[in-house]
Amino acid sequence: MVRPPTARPAVPGAGRLGLLEPTAADSLRELAWDNVESIPLLWALSRSPDADLALLTLIRLRERLGSEWAAVDSALRAETALRGRLFALIGSSSAFADHLVADPESWRLLRRGDLPARDELIADLLDAVAATPEQGDGAGPMLYRAGNAGPDVIALLRKRYRDQLMLLAAHDLAATVENEPVLPYQQVGWQLTDLADAALTAALAVAVARVCPDGPVPVRLGVIAMGKCGARELNYVSDVDVVFVAEPADTTATRLAAETMTVASNAFFEVDAALRPEGKAGALVRTLDSHVTYYKRWARTWEFQALLKMRPATGDLELGRQYRDALMPMVWNASERPDFVTDVQSMRRRVEDQVPADLRERELKLGHGSLRDVEFAVQLLQLVHGKADESLHVQGTVEALTALAAGGYVGRDDAANLTASYEFLRLLEHRLQLQRLKRTHTLPAADDEEGMRWLARAAHMRPDGRQDAVGVLRSEIKRNTMRVRRLHAKLFYRPLLESVARLDADALRLSPAAAVRQLAALGYAAPENALGHLKALTNEVGRKGRIQALLLPTLLEWLGETPNPDAGLLAYRRVSEGLDDQIWFLRELRDEGAIAQRLMIVLGSSAYLPDLLINAPETIRMFADGPEGPLLLATQPDQVREGILAGAARYGDPKRAVATARSLRRHELARVASADVLGMLDVPQVCKALSAVWVSVLEAALQAVIRASEAELGGPAPAALAVIGMGRLGGLELGYGSDADVLFVCDPRPGADETVAVKWAIGVAEQVQRLLGAPSTDPPLQVDAGLRPEGRNGALVRTLAAYQAYYQQWAQSWEVQALLRAHQVAGDQELGVRFLHMIDVVRYPEGGVSGDAVREIRRIKARVDSERLPRGANPATHTKLGRGGLADIEWTVQLMQLRYAHEVVELHNTSTLESLDVIEAADLLDPEDVALLRDAWLTATKARNALVLVRGKSADQLPGPGRLLSAIARVAGWPNDDGSEFLDNYMRVTRRAKTVVERVFGGDG
């Protein structure tokens, strides 16, 4: 027998209502809502963002009201609007729930169907302190004197302010529970700002009564709202930024301003005057003339950006209007300041750096794709175009976006989409702050399901059939932050592209003058040239032009963040044109974001790399990430050597073989330099990689010339030939600008005539030098044999026996010192090793070098210090020969080797860094001194390499403060673009190392 289905009860139970507290059913019975007549109340309660919190608050309210609860119950049953406001409010905000319970009669305030106007808000808060209009010379329409200025006024004002805030919040939230009108975002901001103005007016009235109790106010004081308050887009919980202007700016004015801040901060919200001239270190109150003088002489770019939002709020409004009229023209000239671009970029980076990495995805205000992205972009466009277009002289973000779209500076669809995303993110910010009336901009953690569920309901998210409310909220957050990120770049660059290429028939086009202004503000020093590059790129035929137009907004944004966007854009155009027939290039940029971003950073940072990349374009593919990290790091030195030797070995003609080796070197230099610019390699890794490729090319060239010679001779070569690396090549510590210092040594084959063998070896060595040193677009390959016996006057190649005879009889102290870095690098390995064993007797003699030799080294060092520095060079910042530079450190290490290598075998080492490790381990110098020497060597090498990467040619002298130095600082890995800080650090590090150098060279022995 089939049982008939059980009818569902007409009155929903606690579970159906979404109530989770075990006491929920009892609470509903206590309220007498567990009946058919109360069903509308029950379903309304279930729609509250936190129904359990709302129910708990109703129970608490009933207990406080006692017999008067009946009036509340009756009103909730009869008035749908009240029901929506109350249930939404107490389910969204535990703070307002507590406020209601503390003063249960205040529920009646929520019956009001409209919001009070500005004048009513001011009158209400002034009434709380029995204020009357101020009389006398300082009087004005917004200056009042409180009748009650005693200690109880803070509580009175806080209660009135919180009541008005509660009414607004109730109206703002009501639509989540009942079918009530949704308050537009801008209306909420305007209402909060009107309430803030009223609060400041009441606080000033109390200050007047306290500071000037015995007579009229003797000064004029204007309160200027800044930031969100100035723009009339306040949050529920915001600091209120203000600036004070007074006539005269005397003690009385200062006391009035300070007391106003104290009262307002205690009663309403934190009042912050840090945007005043000189910040918190500056005077709290200034005259109008003093403000004007400061902004004309001393103000930074960010201070003019802050003035965009200024608005006279209360006090002497006429003085406030004079303040605004005097300063606003300076705001619209700010984009013409020489430091405008760098100031704006560094300020943006500082804001981003404030956000901890683990919070960036949850941060609504400061993260990537956040509110600040929108506000920053809008303000920048206002500053750029506002001088020429007064329609942009508005303060609110939404109003400014509307004006920018109307003026053709932003696409209308882009402006509409960005406005929608901005208002959505601001809505979430408001809801998060209402929960506890705390200043916050951080979303709940990803695993905080309860927090996300509450926020979804408070933000009026509804299931969409595929996802629940939380899923919809997560999707909306992701969609809107991604849209902000995308439009942030498009906002600047899409109109620029429209100005040079008709991409959309309905699109507005920037005028040429506006396009030039916009490019200049984005960091382009030659905006007219940049426009030409954009036109050339977007006018490519067919699909390539369309892909370029799609890519360029993002590429240009990344370029704008580099040290030299002009050179970067030109280089990108050259690379694009050079790869015009390479289908993969634009596809890789479009599909691999990492490739595109890294390429822009490289092109906008380095003059060394563009030609390399044009001639070795396959390197660009390595900008991608592989399964184990960046592909730029996937290549090992052994692989490079094998590839270069194998490639060159395919050709019998030495010219073709060397050309192949140079081509492979070009690819490897592009890889290493790109990884270096991108911060993927440290100094020792760079030096090792550059040395490895130099050695490989040298070996390939030597083998090719010997193969050709043997083919021509019809038999084996008459001598073995080895190449000994000297200097930084011998230490495997080459930089980008280093030559290859070498010695050529030969050994005749058994039975061969020595004269013939040496002549053959000289011919081979000369041909290797000539082939490698041939002019090329690549970085040069100079093989320098100037350290050979008798210098450039001596034979280019000597036999092993001749070297031995020379060093035993004629070697001077400096030549012995040079041999400390001799290392076999190419040619006959066995001969090279025999050469090294032969010179070990010279460079590491038993008992150590003589005292006379050490003194001679010291004498030569003193002479080098005084004579070798180039004319006009700055000894403090010359990376090679300057104070505490590379030569200082290397000479110091070599002096320690000369003195102690006979005792410490580990000092038989050609590497400066490795020798420093040995000196520390053997306790030959204090560890702190070794650390100073090591730090200076690494710092100077990094700076020298960065010099070459930025300038594209060898250089040793760091420039003075300016754009070039800032670029070098960035490439050298300095954490910001402040070149002066980088230079100060360089000089500090090398100066401290110099003290160690002088101590070592001034010692005994």
Alpha-helical (H) ranges within 501-582 are 512-521, 527-538, 542-560, 565-578
Global pTM reads 0.75
Q: Contact, 423 vs 401, CB < 8 A?
A: no
- Rg (C-alpha) for the chain, rounded Å, is 38
Rounded to whole angstroms, how far apart are CA atoms 351 and 360?
A: 12
pLDDT at site 503:
44
What are the tokens at 585?
Answer: 């290039």
> Chain-centre distance of CA 843, in angstroms?
50
User: 973-1000, pLDDT tens digit by residue?
Assistant: 998 778 899 999 999 999 999 999 999 9
Environment class of residue 235 by beta-carbon count within 10 Å: exposed (0-12), middle (13-18) or buried (19+)?
A: buried
Phi-psi region of 959 (alpha: psi -120 to 50; beta: other; left: phi over 0): beta
Q: Contact, 230 vs 309, CB < 8 A?
A: yes
What DSSP letter does each residue of 937-1005 carry, written as one string?
HHHHHHHHHHHHHHHSS---BPP-SSHHHHHHHHHTT-SSS-HHHHHHHHHHHHHHHHHHHHHHHTS--
Residue type, 124: D
Quick one: which of 41, 80, 40 has its CA closest to 58?
41
Rounded to whole angstroms, how far apart are CA atoms 942 and 683?
A: 6
DSSP bridge partners of 245: 222, 286
Rounded to whole angstroms, how far apart are CA atoms 167 and 995?
A: 70
> Chain-centre distance of CA 902, in angstroms?
51
Q: Contact, 138 vs 247, CB < 8 A?
A: no
Rounded to whole angstroms, how far apart are CA atoms 784 and 801?
A: 22
Phi, psi at 311, each rounded to 5°: -160, 130
CB atoms within 10 A of CB 7: 6
What are the tokens at 752?
Answer: 């061969």
Q: Contact, 578 vs 617, CB < 8 A?
A: yes
pLDDT at site 504:
47
Q: Contact, 697 vs 644, CB < 8 A?
A: yes
Residue partners of 696: CB distance under 8 A and separation at least 6 = 640, 641, 644, 645, 661, 665
What are the tokens at 736?
Answer: 């980008």
Please give the angle made by the CA atoms of 888, 892 and 897, to the nearest 5 degrees.
Answer: 150
Helix (H) or strand (E) holding 721: strand 719-725
pLDDT at site 684:
96
pLDDT at site 969:
95
Residue partners of 865: CB distance under 8 A and separation at least 6 = 881
pLDDT at site 115:
97
Q: Contact, 943 vs 968, CB < 8 A?
A: yes
Q: Which residue has the tokens 């989409």?
A: 417
Please give the angle made by the CA atoms of 775, 778 and 781, to the nearest 5 degrees.
Answer: 65
pLDDT at site 1002:
78
Rounded to whole angstroms, how far apart are CA atoms 375 and 364?
A: 12
pLDDT at site 2:
52
Rounded to whole angstroms, how far apart are CA atoms 891 and 871?
A: 22
Residue partners of 726: CB distance under 8 A and separation at least 6 = 741, 742, 743, 787, 818, 821, 822
Phi, psi at 927, each rounded to 5°: -55, -35
pLDDT at site 148:
94
> Chain-centre distance of CA 86, in angstroms?
45
Rounded to whole angstroms, how far apart are CA atoms 968 and 974?
A: 9
Rounded to whole angstroms, how far apart are CA atoms 917 and 919?
A: 6
Phi, psi at 247, each rounded to 5°: -135, 110
Q: Contact, 171 vs 85, CB < 8 A?
A: yes
Rounded to whole angstroms, how far apart are CA atoms 256 and 209?
A: 10
Residue partners of 521: CB distance under 8 A and separation at least 6 = 335, 340, 341, 344, 380, 383, 384
Q: Contact, 785 vs 742, CB < 8 A?
A: yes
Phi, psi at 286, each rounded to 5°: -135, 160
> Chain-centre distance of CA 267, in angstroms?
38
What are the tokens at 713?
Answer: 């001779």
Rounded to whole angstroms, how far apart are CA atoms 284 and 252?
A: 12
pLDDT at site 349:
67
Quick one: which of 357, 406, 356, 354 has its CA closest to 381?
406
Could you say which residues of the chain have pLDDT below 70?
A: 1-8, 341-342, 345, 348-355, 357-359, 489, 492-494, 496-509, 541-542, 1003-1005
Helix (H) or strand (E) holding 311: strand 311-315
Q: Contact, 412 vs 495, CB < 8 A?
A: no
Count of residues in the chain: 1005
Quick one: which of 865, 842, 876 has its CA closest to 1001?
865
Residue partners of 509: CB distance under 8 A and separation at least 6 = 408, 495, 498, 499, 502
What DSSP letter does each residue of 346-364 carry, written as one string?
HHHHHHHHTS-GGGTTTBT
What are the tokens at 571?
Answer: 């280089």
Quick one: which of 237, 114, 104, 117 has its CA closest to 171?
114
Q: Give 3-state DSSP helix, strand, coil % of the chain, rounded to 5.
A: 65, 5, 30
Three-state SS string across 628-671, please?
Answer: CEEHHHCCCHHHHHHHHHHHHHCCCCHHHHHHHHHHHHHHHHHH
Residue type, 658: V
Question: Helix crossing, 637-649 with 654-677: angle to 10°?
Answer: 160
User: 757-808, pLDDT tens digit by residue?
Assistant: 999 999 999 999 999 988 877 777 889 999 999 888 899 999 999 999 999 9
Phi, psi at 147, each rounded to 5°: -75, -25
Rounded to whole angstroms, how far apart are CA atoms 749 and 258?
A: 95
pLDDT at site 521:
76
Rounded to whole angstroms, how far apart are CA atoms 514 and 532?
A: 15
